[in-house]
């Protein structure tokens, strides 16, 4: 699409999705676990003024394609990350709909 300049508005909205931290983390996470390499976890409880005041599962830091992905709470993946990816996918979908009208 880029080389032939087809649907430039779709590509414009696709880039924020492809380069988002949430999408890249999810892509790396899925690629690692589908090849039967588990990502280590730890259970964490944090309470106090400078903490999250939560408890739950945390995926430890891992590397994928020379990129280090830091510790991430499972709650963030199924909450904030998922919501942001859905929002970005919706934007791309709306641009695709506009293009095919």
Tens-level pLDDT at each residue, the chain (101 residues): 666 667 777 788 788 999 999 999 999 999 998 887 789 999 999 999 899 999 999 999 999 999 999 999 999 999 999 999 999 999 989 888 888 88
Percent helix, strand, coil in the chain, to 5, is 50, 20, 30
Write out the residue range of the structural domain in which residue 37 sits.
8-100
- pTM, 2 dp: 0.82
Domain assignment present for 1? no
With the CA atoms of 7, 8, 10 and 14 taken in that order, what torsion angle do they form, in degrees rounded to the nearest 10?
140
Rounded to an integer, what distance in angstroms lies between the CA atom of residue 94 and that of residue 71? 33
In a domain, 66, yes or no: yes
Instruction: Give residue 61's pLDDT.
Output: 94
Residue 61 domain-assigned (yes or no): yes
Domain count for the chain, please give it: 1
Q: Considering the domain boundaries, does residue 18 fall inside one?
A: yes
What tokens were used for 7? Answer: 């649907």
């Amino acid at each position: 699409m880029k080389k032939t300049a087809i649907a430039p508005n779709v590509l414009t909205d696709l880039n924020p999705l492809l380069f988002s931290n949430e999408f890249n983390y999810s892509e790396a996470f899925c690629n690692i676990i589908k090849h039967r390499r588990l990502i280590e976890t730890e259970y964490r409880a944090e309470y106090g003024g400078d903490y999250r005041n939560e408890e739950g599962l945390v995926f430890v830091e891992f590397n994928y394609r020379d990129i280090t992905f830091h510790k991430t709470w499972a709650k963030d993946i199924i909450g904030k990350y998922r919501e942001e990816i859905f929002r970005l996918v919706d934007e791309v979908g709306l641009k695709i709909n506009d293009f095919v009208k």
